[in-house]
Structure 1
Amino acid sequence: MLQFGMPTLIENKTLEDNISLCKELGLKFIELNMNFPEYQVEQLENTDRLLKLADEAGIYFTIHLDENLNIADFNSLVTGAYLETVQSSIAVMKKLLPLRDKYGDSTQPLTLNMHMHHGIYITLPDKKVQMYDRDFDTYMKSFATFRTLVSEWIGEDDILVVVENTDGFRDYEKKSIEYLLESPKFGLTWDIGHSKAIGEKDVPYILEHRDRLVHFHIHDGSENPPKNHLALGDGEIDLQDRLSLAESRNARCVLETKTIEALRKSVKWLGDKGRMS
């Protein structure tokens, strides 16, 4: 049976509120979102509190790294801060692994989800030039450093950094992702709503690397008009097909709606379809 969890919801003011909803809905885990001020690394490093609250509720945690994370920024001070954030987040995850073993599926690595930062672009009269494409060698040196450091920081622990699709992978990003996936410490997240809203243009690339899929963001969506983060059943996605792929990959699934109402509706949809007991 698939393991379903929930995102950090903005309507919930505290971690306790999120945990209470997670337990009520029978979900297994919460993906702590580092875009929120209350889930910055300094707060997450209070692992005694996290362990106590999760243990009382019988759940565990994954982490969604800050969407602004940019490990290839040309400013080394900026890059250094983001690398330090990843290192500290991995250290937190190591302390949270026992929760996964107790309340989750120990065959599923614990994940830190990350977005690819597109970098800036320069607008010319006839086109836009992505700076990471223009200075690709510099860009890739940053990813070489990142891959080496992440592998060292994770060591032998059952943790993966997983790369999520958003609004379409750029060609230079595909090359850097290929490079990251050469390491067993990296995997892929398929956000099925994001890919639907942009006409599924990332799907061939994702399916080409399906053997590295370990994490899913599950929500409904549509192409025209482009929408995502809808409750399951409110969009156009072949959800059963996507869930079957997730199941075949033994992947963990976050029900990534943005409201409590949509999350409740999605849990009910899964129950009606026999996907949740």
Structure 2
Amino acid sequence: MRVANPIGYQASYDTESILEAIRFGKQNGFQAVELHLLSPNFQPERINSAERRAIRDENFILLFHVPTNFSFFIDDKIRLATIERLKEYIDFAEELAAYAITVHLGRSMPLATQGKTLRTWELWYEQEYERLYSSLKDIGTYMQGKRLFFCIENTSEMRYPLSYEVLESLLPELPLYLTWDIGHSNTLDHDEKQREEAFFLRFLHKVKNVHLHDNWGKVDEHNIIGEGNINWGYYLELLDSKERVLILETRPRELAVLSMKRLLNVWHHNNKLTK
């Protein structure tokens, strides 16, 4: 089985600079790195023009992950400020000739009542639908003409019924794309997993980034490849494409190196994992 996909790792708390992240990737046989913008070391304001030129000159595949405290479901003033900051991240990634930027939709707010939790989307469905639709349409319009892929990841908020409705409406008409986190899908119960996988199979042409990490089907553990029950051979064959980057989301980064070795074993041994 050939290896078509570029393989990368995610840099976060264990990396001091973007250039260091790139050099670690090159030294360890990766072809890409996803930079998590939770790290203050990767913030646009910290990277001067000379560093930006040096980063571009490395000619290495870059991806970005937006901080996970963003939300498209909250109060309009905060939501709109979030979108403006997101556009600044998009411009930064575009300037560095990055391949993709990934975002979580952000959670609808919880309300505890009588021993259970309600989400605001359950109470005010139409308003939350409109907020999400408006937010993604704004971003999708902003992305027109850009080389960068704006990708939405399958975290819990993507599974709200209104989220599926919005995405199914906007994905066909706007330059919005997907990040498929295989580990996240594996934690779902049977029916929800089938629903999520059916969605991704329907929009497989929109998947530009894939997050890889293992677990035993219950908790999002971010284990190294092989420390779980995911059928990697199936997914690698399904997602085989030079236009999809595979990001090993195991931390610290040394574990991503081990995960890559195990992943390559899947390819080299006819889709069977050997440790």
| Shorter-chain TM-score tier | 0.7 to 0.9
| Equivalent residue runs for 1:154-173 within 5 Å | 154-167=143-156, 169-173=159-163
With normalisation by structure 2, the TM-score equals 0.84
Match of 1:206 in 2: 200
Distance 1:163 1:47, change over 3 A: farther
> For the Cα contact (< 8 Å) 1:196–1:223, is it kept in 2?
yes
Deviations 1:36-65 (A, max 9, x none): 122234235x45413413524x41311111
Match of 1:241 in 2: 234
Match of 1:181 in 2: 171
1:80 equivalent to 2:80? Answer: yes
- Give the stretch that moved more between structures: 158-167 or 200-209: 200-209
Deviations 1:136-188 (A, max 9, x none): 22222223332332233222122222111124712222223223313331111
Distance 1:218 1:71, change over 3 A: same
How far has the Cα of 1:84 moved from its partner? 0.9
Q: Secondary structure at the match of 1:63?
A: strand
> For the Cα contact (< 8 Å) 1:219–1:230, is it kept in 2?
yes
With normalisation by structure 1, the TM-score equals 0.83
| Equivalent residue runs for 1:94-133 within 5 Å | 94-97=94-97, 110-125=99-114, 127-133=116-122
Match of 2:55 in 1: 53
Q: Secondary structure at the match of 1:32?
A: strand
Distance in 1, matches of 2:201 and 2:50, equals 39
Q: Secondary structure at the match of 1:77?
A: helix
2:244 to 227, 251, 254: 251
Match of 2:46 in 1: 43
> For the Cα contact (< 8 Å) 1:6–1:27, is it kept in 2?
yes
> For the Cα contact (< 8 Å) 1:151–1:185, is it kept in 2?
yes
Distance 1:248 1:16, change over 3 A: closer
| Equivalent residue runs for 1:4-19 within 5 Å | 4-19=7-22
Q: Secondary structure at the match of 1:61?
A: strand
**Counterpart code for 1:11:** D
**Counterpart code for 2:166:** S
Match of 2:91 in 1: 91
Question: Identity percentage over the alignment?
Answer: 20
Distance 1:47 1:2, change over 3 A: farther
> For the Cα contact (< 8 Å) 2:111–2:120, is it kept in 1?
yes
Match of 1:190 in 2: 180
Distance 1:14 1:156, change over 3 A: closer
Distance in 1, matches of 2:137 and 2:29, equals 38
1:135 equivalent to 2:124? Answer: yes
1:262 to 255, 264, 267: 255
Distance in 2, matches of 1:205 and 1:249, equals 21
Deviations 1:103-155 (A, max 9, x none): xxxxxxx2210112122122222643211232222222223332332233222
Distance in 2, matches of 1:118 and 1:37, equals 23
Q: Secondary structure at the match of 1:223?
A: coil
Distance 1:150 1:227, change over 3 A: closer
Distance in 2, matches of 1:91 and 1:17, equals 22
